[in-house]
Amino acid sequence: MIGNAMALKYLKNMIKQDLAMDLGTANTLIYVQREGVVLNEPTVIACSGDGLVIEVGLAAKRYLGRTPKGITAVRPMKDGIIEDFDAISQLIRVFLSRAQERKGIFSPRVVVCVPSNITQVEKRAVLEAAQEAGAKKIFLLEETMAAAIGAGLPVYGEQPQMIMDIGGGTTEVAVIANGSYLHCETLRVAGDEFDEAIGRWLTEERGLVVGPTTAETIKWEIGSVWDDKNGLDPEYNVSGKHFLQGIPVTAVITSRELMPAMEKPLHAISKMVEDVFDVMSPDIRASIKANGITLTGGGALLRGIIQFLGSRTGLMFNLASDPLTTVVKGAGRTIENFKDYEKVFIN
């Protein structure tokens, strides 16, 4: 029986394997039909001066801020939007090639997750980039809808569900019922702003200049946005350049002293939640209060963010089981059960 099942799966894969892609500002994830998540790499590409691709993904990220002569490393997405069309086309082509070990007889469907406030111009840019990368049948899916599906929320149910996705470039909040949005907002404040805030704080308070990769590392190593007063105060030894003299210097920083640096982006995110909640009708607000708000995205893993948002808004927040992959898994569910989710695509 096991042998027959494997043979059937192999035959299906030889015929066609659809894919889903979460093309994020910070990371790109790909889900392959019947396989699951097969790729999770930084949305970074390094090219030579004549445009040849040197590295893509994790290998390219090490070049950010420290590229040798003749090599340019870029993050082609900014705030969830394509900034460098040629770079993103090449990046998508490489990632799709990596994700597909074998090509089926028929062209696969490719579902690409995009911000909910995407414009028609930006939508065309995503479609053209995917087509340039070799995709033929492309379906666009809004990130918050994908996140809701991936989190297991009953998106076709009548009871409103509220979800918030904190990515690298954007934070999105949506209220969903009957397979569509009752309300949706996008804020271009997310993980990147936390990294930038840490970098600014180091320069202003310690006279230390660090690159974005170092700032991001500090965020995940000791970053916290909630002080329970009783917990430990971890330290981090930072290396960088002196702001004025340009010489290598080091400094020891702690989690608690870094907290004020991240307040501005946090307050912007919590205000968006409050604003969306306030414009809802009393019965929808009651439903949201009862069910809580589902939190997804890489930013959802920031220490203390559930406590901070709950304290600030007075609402309950529920962390998705795997926030980093919720969006791509939701998109993956749409290709596994395509007929059930045809109505959620926006093109």
Is pLDDT above 70 for 300? yes
Q: Return d(Cα 258, Cα 253) in angstroms, integer.
A: 7
Q: What angle do CA 161, 24, 20 make, to 5 degrees?
A: 75
Per CATH, domain 191-262 is 2.40.240.20? no
Asked if 162 contacts 134 with a C-beta cutoff of 8 angstroms, the reply is no
CATH architecture of 154-189+263-319: 2-Layer Sandwich (3.30)
Is pLDDT above 60 for 103? no
Q: In this predicted structure, what is the pLDDT of residue 81? A: 82
Superfamily of domain 2-146+326-344: ATPase, nucleotide binding domain (3.30.420.40)
- Tell which residue, 148, 137, 145, has the closest CA to residue 19: 137
User: Tens digit of pLDDT for each residue in 150-159?
Assistant: 999 999 999 9
308 vs 17: which has the higher pLDDT: 308
Q: In this predicted structure, what is the pLDDT of residue 305? A: 96
CB environment 60-95: b (16+ within 10 A), e (fewer):
bbebbeebeeeeebbbbbebbbbebeebbbbbbbbb
Domain with CATH 3.90.640.10 in the chain: 191-262
- Read off the pLDDT of each residue in 63-77 and give the average, rounded to a whole number: 83
Cβ-based neighbours of 211, under 8 Å, separated by 6 or more: 64, 65, 66, 240
Domain with CATH 3.30.420.40 in the chain: 2-146+326-344, 154-189+263-319
Which one-letter DSSP state was computed for residue 345? -
Amino acid at 169: G
User: Tens digit of pLDDT for each residue in 169-205?
Assistant: 999 999 999 999 999 999 999 999 999 999 999 999 9
Asked if 124 contacts 130 with a C-beta cutoff of 8 angstroms, the reply is no
